[in-house]
Structure formats: structure tokens, C-alpha cells
Amino acid sequence: MRFSRIAVIGPIDEHDKRPALMIRLADIQHRLYLAESHVRLYMACTRINSRGEKELVGVKDMNVGYDSGWDRVLLLWPIIIRHVIDEESPLYGMTPEIMRQADFELIMTVEGIVEATGMTFQARTSFLPNEIQWGHRFTPMVILNDTTGKFEVDYSHFEMTERCDDFVPITITETDDEEPDDYDTTSHLPPPHSHRLYDHASICMHNASGFV
């Protein structure tokens, strides 16, 4: 399973300007196909407690289309997983400056059943705030060949992104009487961490190579 090395935040597409977090995903196995594939996305948040220790506050589930079935994916070609940044999103109201100071990690899992064996398959990766590009979208890589009349996949574009000059993120203004919730990463931010919450070497979720 191959994940993009970075995530991007930009408009869903050229026609839908709602902001979304997007991650590219592709099944690069040969002769082994996954059935009933589905994805999940989580935000793990930390904070500094009164003793000066960094502790895990909790893990929040991030919607990648559970209500509409978008979380169930067909991995015959590379796809883009989208999390719409609306009022229910933990990213709602964040700016690039706030995100750079935030202390969280996004964790994505992909599960499915290997058709040939019937065994369950799972792959994982994660993204730190400095691995999220603002105002970008992934460059299309599944393009119709007008000569052959067939769609072709150009894997050289897998990591490529392009800037969205017209992208305007949603921002909110907090008042003094508003109480932040447990997952508010915009208030009382600790310094950004330079390490991950989990030992990726032991659970096979390190994303430095883009492969899991």
C-alpha cells in the first residue's frame, strides 16, 4: 500500500470549493486484490500538563465520508481520501500559523480482505503538522488517453501537488467567554513536537518512504 508522503489542504475540486484535507492512496500490490476496503482517519492530540509532562489528551475520529459511503474505497487505481473541514472537523478555524504550532498527529488506516486468501489486511501511516501543505491539491494522475480511449495512470505524478491560488480557508474568531473543548488545538498551544506519538518502526506505519 502506498500513501502520499504529505497531506494537502485545499478545495475539494474545481467545482466544490469547500476546504478539505486530502491524502493520496494507491494499492500497488501485484496479483493480490483487496475487497471490502475502507479507510479511517484519526487525530491524536497531546498537551503539556501541570507537571511539565507531555501527555496524550485523546484520539478524535475524523469523518472521511462515513455517512455517504466514501470511506469504502475501490482500490483499482490511485484515489484521494477527503476529510471536509466543516464545523464538526477538529481542523475547523485553523490557519497555517496555528497548525504549525499545534501538537497533534493525523493517523490513517486502510483495511480490507485479500481476495486470494480471505485474510484481513491493514496498513497505516501518519502526518505531522509540518507534513500538511496549505492551499494545494494533488495533480491528477488518472487521465483518459484520447488515442486509445482508455484511462492511464501516471505514477510519476503520485507525489505532485499544485497550488490553488483562489483557496480561502475558513477562519473563526474566538471570544473571551468561549471555553475550548478537549480537542481544541488552537488554545494554550505547547511548542510543536518533532517526534511522532507512536514507534513506527515497530508497527510498520513510518511514512518517510511513502510505503507501508
Q: Express each pLDDT in 74-103 by its tens digit.
A: 888 899 999 999 999 999 999 999 998 888
Residues 6+ apart with CB under 8 A from 116: 31, 32, 33
Q: How far is CA 135 from CA 11, 108, 164, in A?
A: 8, 21, 5
- Whether domain 2-203 has CATH 2.60.40.1400: yes
Residues 6+ apart with CB under 8 A from 28: 1, 2, 211
Question: What does the angle CA 24 – CA 189 – CA 84 come to, to the nearest 5 degrees?
Answer: 30
Q: Express each pLDDT in 139-169 by its tens digit.
A: 999 998 898 999 999 999 999 999 988 777 6
**pTM to 2 decimal places:** 0.76
Residues 6+ apart with CB under 8 A from 91: 9, 21, 83, 85, 99
Residue 172 falls in which region: left (phi positive, over 0), alpha (psi -120 to 50) or beta: beta
Q: How far is CA 107 from CA 10, 118, 140, 188, in A?
A: 19, 25, 24, 23
Q: Express each pLDDT in 6-26 by its tens digit.
A: 999 999 888 888 999 999 999
Domain residue spans of the chain: 2-203
Q: What are phi and psi of 80, to 5 degrees?
A: -115, 125
How does DSSP assign 180-209, residue by residue? P-TT--SSSPPPPPSS-SS-HHHHT---SS
Neighbour tally for 60: CB within 10 Å: 17
